Amino acid sequence: MENTDAEEVTLDMEAEAEAEAMPEPQPAEPDMDPATEAFARLEGEMALVRRAVERLAAERADIVIPDYGATLTDMTTQIAAVSESLDEIAEHPAMQLTPERLGARIEAVAVAARRADHERIDQASKEARQAAHDMNAAVTQVRTAADQSRRLWQGIGCGALAGILLWSFLPGTIARAVPENWHWPERMAARLIGESSR
C-alpha cells in the first residue's frame, strides 16, 4: 500500500515536471480556429498521458516482489504444531464430556452414593431391631429372674409352713402308729419335759 502511494506521488511529480518542461501553450493566434486549438491542446495532453503510462509500466517492471516462502513455511509449521496440540487436547477425557454425559455421570455417582446410604440405613435399622429384641429378651429375663426369685421365696415360705404344720402333728401320729412296746410316745414326752427316764 505504501508502494502504491509512493507511485502515485512519483507520477504526480513527474507529470508536473513534464508539464513544466513542456512549452506553455502559446496564446492562440487570432486567426486560429478554436477546434484546431482544442485539438492541439488535446494532442499535448495525450502525449503527457502516453509518457506517464510508459513510465508507469517501466516502474511496475522494477518493483521487487518479496519472497514469502520462508514465512509461509514457518506459518505452516506453527499451524501444524497448533493442530497437533488441539488434537491432543481433544483426546483428553474432559473434552469428550458433553453436558449430557456429565449429567449422566453425576446421576450415576449419586445413585451409587444413595445405594450405599440405603445399605447403611438398612444395616442400622437391622442393628436397631436386633438391639431392641436383645433388650426385650434381657428385660424378659430380668422379669423371669424376679418372678423366679419371688416364687422361690414363696415356695420356701410354703414349705416352711407345711414343715411346721407337719412337724406339729406328724411325730405324734407316727409315734402312735408304731408298736406300743417301743414306747415312743413316752420317750417323746420325757424328752419334751427334760426328764432322763420315762
Would you list the domain boundaries of the chain? 1-21+42-60, 97-176
Cα distance between residue 198 and residue 183, in whole Å: 9
At 117 the pLDDT is 86
Cα distance between residue 114 and residue 116, in whole Å: 5
| Residues of the chain under the 70 pLDDT cut | 1-31, 61, 197-198
Q: Which residues contact 55 (CB under 8 A, 6 or more apart)?
A: 11, 14
At 88 the pLDDT is 84
Cα distance between residue 13 and residue 19, in whole Å: 10
Q: Are 198 and 190 in contact (CB under 8 A)?
A: yes
Long-range contact set of residues 1-8: C-beta below 8 Å, sequence gap at least 24: 3/63, 7/56, 7/59
At 123 the pLDDT is 92
Q: For the whole prediction, is pTM greater than 0.75? A: no
Q: Are 48 and 14 in contact (CB under 8 A)?
A: no
Please, is 184 exposed, middle or buried when counting C-beta atoms within 10 Å of its C-beta (0-12, 13-18, 19+)? Answer: middle
- The vertex-73 CA angle with 72 and 74, nearest 5°, equals 90
Cα distance between residue 77 and residue 128, in whole Å: 71
At 11 the pLDDT is 47
At 80 the pLDDT is 93
At 46 the pLDDT is 92
Please, is 37 exposed, middle or buried when counting C-beta atoms within 10 Å of its C-beta (0-12, 13-18, 19+)? Answer: middle
Q: Are 190 and 197 in contact (CB under 8 A)?
A: yes
- The vertex-127 CA angle with 125 and 133, nearest 5°, equals 105
At 14 the pLDDT is 54
Q: Residues of 21-30 as b/e, b for ≥16 C-beta within 10 angstroms?
A: eeeeeeeeee
Cα distance between residue 170 and residue 177, in whole Å: 10
At 66 the pLDDT is 78
